């Protein structure tokens, strides 16, 4: 019984860490902006030093802007830093800043 509680507690901690990692600041390049729908597509930049010189890119994600005015300061091709939250499977930008 003690081992089961330990395993469940560990799984809960891992789940919380994974979900909070999504809210951390990320960097990427804007690939598409849809101002009518208030969405933006960002190609996430790989973090770390492994393969950093190869220019490899991360996943392409589409986000809903928390505020449509956030999208006015950026254009396709801009490098940005951003933060997002996950609301029922939909990514929502909470911060967007041109680098």
The pLDDT tens digits of the residues spanning 36-84 come to 999 999 999 876 655 555 555 678 899 999 988 999 999 999 999 999 9
Average pLDDT over residues 22-31: 82
The answer to whether the CB of 47 falls within 8 A of the CB of 28 is no
Distance separating alpha carbons of residues 95 and 84, to the nearest angstrom? 7
- Domains of the chain (ranges, CATH numbers): 25-98 (2.40.50.320)
Q: How far is CA 47 from the centre of its chain?
A: 12
How would residue 32 be classed by pLDDT, with cut points 50, 70 and 90?
A: very high
3-state class (DSSP) for residue 55: coil
**Which pLDDT band holds residue 20 (cuts at 50, 70, 90)?**
very low
Stronger pLDDT, 4 or 70, i.e. the higher one: 70
Mean pLDDT computed over every residue of the chain: 79
Q: What is the pTM of this model?
A: 0.66
Q: How confident is the model at residue 29, as a pLDDT?
A: 96
């Amino acid at each position: 019984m003690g081992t089961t509680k330990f395993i469940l507690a560990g799984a809960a901690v891992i789940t919380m860490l994974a979900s909070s990692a999504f809210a951390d600041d990320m960097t990427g390049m804007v690939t598409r902006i849809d101002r009518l729908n208030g969405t933006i597509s960002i190609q996430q930049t790989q973090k770390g030093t492994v393969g950093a010189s190869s220019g490899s890119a991360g996943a392409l994600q589409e986000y809903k802007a928390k505020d449509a005015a956030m999208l006015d300061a950026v254009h396709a091709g801009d490098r940005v830093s951003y933060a997002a939250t996950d609301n029922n499977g939909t990514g929502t930008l909470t911060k967007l800043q041109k680098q």
